[in-house]
């Protein structure tokens, strides 16, 4: 399996993840390199790197996951390396599929472009580009809820409806 990512993204996100509420531009999202996709297994991280307990309350599935993550590894990647399935889509911090609400602890997320500074200050984080800074407890969120919290004020008449004609025009340009 080739994990090398292209240097530019030419496929629009609406083709990858068709949803009436999303229209992201991926040109501002940093691609993850294959070396960054490395997820540690027990004992795989440097002995000088601190490890933190992560507890994820998965609201959609009614499950609670608890696992350990080195503070230099993405939470989502480490969970997957331990066969823990959590919600995700883009894996690059550009959408809200892996959004969580922090109940306790701290997450460092310098690459989280999918949520605003305002939502970050209210305790929201993205697991795909989040590093634990302490033991944390988080709760998964509904993707559409987070999107509405972030962009709802811009759509005063309610959620954006899918415009298939506009999509056809946009796809015809490529």
Q: Are 110 and 121 in contact (CB under 8 A)?
A: no
pLDDT at 35: 35
Over 60: is that where the pLDDT of 29 sits?
A: no
Q: What is the tens place of the pLDDT at every residue in 56-107?
A: 999 999 999 999 999 999 999 999 999 999 999 989 998 899 999 999 999 9
Question: Tokens at residue 155, please?
Answer: 């759509």
Q: Output the CA angle 44-128-72, nearest 5 degrees.
A: 35
pLDDT at 156: 57
Once rounded to an integer, what is the mean pLDDT over residues 26-45?
A: 40
In this structure, the dihedral spanned by the alpha carbons of residues 102, 80, 134 and 55, taken in order and rounded to 10 degrees, is 50
Rounded-to-integer distance, Cα 136 and Cα 132, Å: 7
Over 70: is that where the pLDDT of 155 sits?
A: no
- Report which of residues 110 and 144 the model is more confident about: 110
Which residue is associated with the tokens 């609406």? 14
Close Cβ partners of 148 (under 8 Å, ≥ 6 residues apart): 159
* Domain residue ranges in the chain: 50-155
pLDDT at 103: 97
Once rounded to an integer, what is the mean pLDDT over residues 41-49?
A: 61
Q: What is the tens place of the pLDDT at every residue in 134-151?
A: 999 999 999 888 888 888
Q: Is the model's pTM score more than 0.85? A: no
Over 50: is that where the pLDDT of 12 sits?
A: no
CATH architecture for the domain at 50-155: Roll (3.10)
């Amino acid at each position: 399996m080739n994990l090398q990512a292209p240097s530019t993204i030419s496929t629009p996100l609406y083709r990858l993840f068709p949803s009436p509420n999303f229209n992201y531009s991926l040109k501002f999202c940093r691609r993850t390199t294959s070396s960054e996709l490395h997820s540690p297994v027990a004992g795989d991280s440097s002995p000088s790197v601190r490890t933190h307990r992560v507890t994820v309350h998965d609201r959609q599935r009614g499950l609670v996951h608890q696992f350990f993550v080195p503070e230099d590894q993405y939470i989502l990647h480490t969970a997957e390396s331990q066969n823990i399935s959590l919600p995700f889509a883009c894996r690059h911090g550009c959408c809200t599929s892996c959004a969580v609400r922090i109940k306790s602890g701290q997450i460092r997320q310098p690459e989280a472009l999918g949520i605003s500074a305002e939502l970050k200050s209210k305790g929201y984080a993205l697991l795909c580009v989040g590093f634990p800074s302490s033991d944390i407890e988080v709760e998964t969120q509904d993707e559409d809820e987070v999107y509405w919290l972030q962009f709802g004020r811009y759509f005063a008449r309610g959620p954006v409806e899918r415009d298939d004609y506009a999509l056809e025009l946009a796809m015809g340009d490529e």
